[in-house]
Structure 1
Amino acid sequence: MTYLSYSAFPTANGGGNPAGVVLDASAMDAHEMLALASDLGYSETAFLRPIGEREYSIRYFSPQAEVDFCGHATVAASVALAEDRYGAGDLLLRSNVGEIPVEVVDGPHGPQATLTTVTPDTTALEVLSELLELLGWDEGDLDPSLPYGAAFGGLWHPILWAASRERLAELEYDFEGLKDLMLRKGWGTVSLLFRESPTFIHSRNAFPVGGVIEDPATGAAAAALGGFLRTHDLLPADGQFTVLQGEDMGQPCLLAVDARGDAGVRVSGTARPISG
């Protein structure tokens, strides 16, 4: 099966989160998709099936299981479609969680994709003590000025704010225990955050359910965060902010988030082909 490899959400100086892309997976079943995703070893691989002009169904697989939504693989797939077939313009992707409109424009560093998620949601985090224990955190590690909770932008993610950037830089947790909790709660990743300013947020996303310690860039989590900040009236005046993720892994990624309005959250970024 022919596949492409792209690095999504890179900075101007490199980084990014690798994703596999299969532009026409019409002949593949779920077992074959999972097998390829496992062979590639990326946190997610996107599998597209054409429905109509600029319209596709899309499925995402980690090396271990199907994932209902993945932001960085959506950006990678959209840029791949732009470069291989369509150029700039609008796309409609139909995912397990609903329709994902994408706008692709020509940017200074190649195509830039902006996805719009399904309508976000938030809820209380009822397992805070258990989550903190598995992370090796205590309540003193949390920023008392910011709320914690769980947020949805295609997948559910707990939202925790570190009291300092130094605390965020330390990530050593109970891998199997956190994986079990995430499977029980249906979480995509665990979003650990530090708010440098209202417009600039540092993020780390624990991802044991995907078989890795953390994900370098998580568009679904960035979208969920946008909805969470909207709900708690913590957005900047223009509703836009930037997430820097993957820095502590040596894979810095920039995600631009626009949470204006009351519908889906927009997440933007570029993607670059991975050679070799």
Structure 2
Amino acid sequence: MDIQELLCFGVAPGGGNAALVVQRDRSGVEQRQVFAREQNRPACVFVDVVDDGGIVLDYFYPHTRSPLCLHATLAAARVLLSPQRPELVVHTAMRGQPLTLILQDGEVFVQLTRQAAPDVVITPELPGLLLAAPGIQLASPPVIASVGSPKLLLEVANTTILQALTPDLPLINEWSTQHGVSGCYAWSRRDDGALEGRNLNHLDPAAEDGATGVAAGALTVHLQTGITLYQGANVGTPCLLRTERRGESILIGGKTEFA
């Protein structure tokens, strides 16, 4: 087993969301989950080479296996790509989703496409219940969007409200499990034209994610434009995610460095 730790989407050198890239591992799903829990990093990605030579990425958070984790995918891209191999198509382990990894001008990107999102009725009172903010007035209608891990997107009026949220995490977990959604992503528009967001899908508030690439992708799908997205300052991991549209595809990238 070869293990490398990388930091992804950091605003400053030495910062960002950590991910472990594990190669040459032959353990099963249960053993990988134990490993991820013991390492206690935001994400681990296992790089498997299948019989036809293709590469499959298998994602684990400390608490669960995931169909897709984009910051871990960026970490894997940094390990797997080189000037001699600047582009590589891989597939995800749980759903077989194709992802194109791209090395461009020294930076790595993940190219992917919009995925089907669950058709869920969102009642008027649901956002207030999930955010533990009864009567909250959202800045736009809630929507579920996906690039491989569906998110309930909730736009609040401003970043002050966003950072003050104390959501009902057990209820979010229960609702998400029931409807096949990967938690809520609360977000707001900033005065500088960028966006700011918080990923609300862990039962432990201390485990709130510093950067959520699948949410950046979901927002890009929803808004139909490339975005600049800040996240993680409130948990001590300030991150910056950038996306762009390329035809029907979405590119997601950010700084990635070896820890």
Q: What TM-score do you get using the length of structure 1 for normalisation?
A: 0.83
- For residues 132 and 29 of structure 2, what CA distance do their matches in structure 1 show? 36
Aligned counterpart for 1:119 among listed residues 114, 129, 144 = 114
- Percent identity at matched positions? 24
Instruction: Give the equivalent residue in structure 2 for 1:92.
Output: 89
Q: Contact 1:255–1:267 (CA<8 Å) still a contact in 2?
A: yes
Q: 2:253 aligns to what?
A: 268
Deviation at 1:181, TM superposition (A): 1.4
Distance in 2, matches of 1:265 and 1:64, equals 28
| Other-structure match for 1:77 | 76
Output the CA distance in 1 between the equivalents of 2:53 and 2:229. 29
Instruction: Find the counterpart in structure 2 of residue 32 from structure 1.
Output: 31
Task: State the shift of 1:92 in Å.
Answer: 1.4
Measured on the aligned residues, the alpha-carbon RMSD in Å equals: 2.5
Question: In 2 relative to 1, CA 258–198 (structure 1 residues): closer, same or farther, beyond 3 Å?
Answer: farther
Q: Are the aligned partners of 1:7 and 1:17 in contact in 2 as well (CA < 8 Å)?
A: yes
Deviations 1:151-186 (A, max 9, x none): 111011001111111101113122222211121122
Q: In structure 2, do the counterparts of structure 1 residues 87 and 77 end up closer, same or farther at CA, with 3 Å as the change threshold?
A: farther
- 1:172 equivalent to 2:166? Answer yes
Deviations 1:91-120 (A, max 9, x none): 11111331001101343xxxx211112324
Following superposition, the deviation at residue 259 of structure 1 comes to 2.7
1:134 aligns with 2:133: no
Tell me, yes or no, if the aligned pair for 2:169 and 2:203 is still in contact at 8 Å. Answer: no
The answer to whether the 8 A contact 1:117-1:264 is kept is yes
Counterparts in 2 of 1:159 and 1:173: CA distance versus 1, 3 Å? same
Moved more, 94-103 or 54-63: 54-63
Alignment counterpart, residue 194 of structure 1, candidates 188, 192, 210: 188
Q: Please, which moves more after superposition, 74-83 or 134-143?
A: 134-143
Q: Which moved more, 1:7-16 or 1:114-123?
A: 114-123
Q: Tell me which amino acid in the other structure corresponds to 1:265.
A: I
Query: Kindly tell me: are residues 92 and 24 of structure 1, through their superposed partners in 2, closer, same or farther at Cα, counting changes over 3 Å?
Result: farther
- Letter paired with 2:252: V
The answer (yes or no) to whether the contact 2:41–2:61 under 8 Å persists in 1 is: yes
Unaligned runs of 5+ in 2: none
Distance, in Å, in 2 between the alignment partners of 1:212 and 1:80 is 28
Question: Which amino acid in structure 2 is aligned with residue 45 of structure 1?
Answer: C
The alignment of Structure 1 onto Structure 2 pairs a total of residues equal to 256
The structure-2 alpha-carbon separation of the partners of 1:89 and 1:155, relative to structure 1 and needing over 3 Å to count, comes to same
Query: Does 2:35 align with 1:50?
Result: no
1:51 Cα shift? 4.0
Given that 1:22 and 1:48 are in contact with CA atoms closer than 8 Å, whether structure 2 keeps it comes out as: yes
- What is residue 227 of structure 2 aligned with on the other side? 241
Q: How does 1:144-163 map to 2 (within 5 A)?
A: 146-163=140-157
Structure 1 portions without partners, runs of 5+: none
